Amino acid sequence: MSESKPKVLLLGETEHAPAQSAYSSLSSLADLITPKSSNPADFLEECRSGAFNGTKAVYRTFHSVSITGRIEGEVVKALAEAGVRFIAHNGAGYDQIDIPACTSHKIHVSNTAPPALSAATADTALFLLLGALRNFNPSLLSLRSGHWRGTPPAALGHDPSNKTLGILGMGGIGRNLASKATALGMSIIYHNRRKLSSEGERGARYVGFEELLSESDIVSLNLPLNEKTKGMIGTREFGMMKKGAVVVNTARGGVMDEAALVAALAQGQISSCGLDVYENEPEIHPGLMDNPKVMLLPHMGTWTEETQTEMELWNIGNVRSALETGRLKSPVAEQADMSDE
């Protein structure tokens, strides 16, 4: 390998042909390496051994956490000492990475932010929203067991038209969902870290957190998981929602207390919900698995050929940008103002 080139460390795999070709093309800029280790303990030792010295950028996938463990503590320190200055994460959520630790070690982190990701996840949220609101799931289960709509039939659902959708987290996914829900005749309110411009709102109305909970017929969670948002929706918050509200979560399972959701469903405070993410996935709370009013998906928000390919290409673009310009295309929000020094 050339001594003059930096290295790029691949954690995980690129799975689609266009992305594999694009990743291979980085070899003109850097030596492309992979770890030999297959578990967190061995990975940390490999980092400390000097095997990754000279690595400038890391391309990582969600599933690479099985190799590295969470990117935090001693792992961040060891990567920084190896020369790592950029971590390009393939995914919208980046709770597997300790951003403050990376910042303190001057490691820049990006996530994937192509339009396709926002559209695909918003599509998933809308599917779950409609399924839960219309109460489709009990009859889907009855039909597959040979009992048509069930005996007695499932309770009538509700139309989306003239309902209020409250979106917690009005980033790219939240805005895409708002646009699609508006087309169904829904009114949109939202709560965010900051109020959007009128152009960004596109008719949605900014409200306080508690106001959103009390006014919404459906609450959609579209916010990142971090120390501030962990367990953000629990017993108290469910109690503030309208009686019979619907909850949709396509963000991260950890933003919601699943045991509290199970209790709220049993009490009728929450009529139904649609979930794509879970607190301890792939484990799911038995009270959710056993409740026919709960629409469940196994974390499939971006599970399309087109979106997965575009996400990989975007992430490779972040690596290329880091190598060519010393900057990432889509730095995580916490590092938006981080200096290059």
Residues serving a catalytic function are 252, 281, 299
The answer to whether the CB of 165 falls within 8 A of the CB of 189 is yes
One-character DSSP codes across 227-288: TTTTT-BSHHHHHHSPTTEEEEE-S-GGGB-HHHHHHHHHTTSEEEEEES--TBTTB--HHH
The answer to whether the CB of 59 falls within 8 A of the CB of 88 is yes
Count each helix (H run) and each strand (E run) in the chain, helices first: 14, 12
**Cβ-proximal residues to 256 (8 Å cutoff; 6+ apart), any chain:** 221, 231, 232, 233, 234, 247, 249, 279
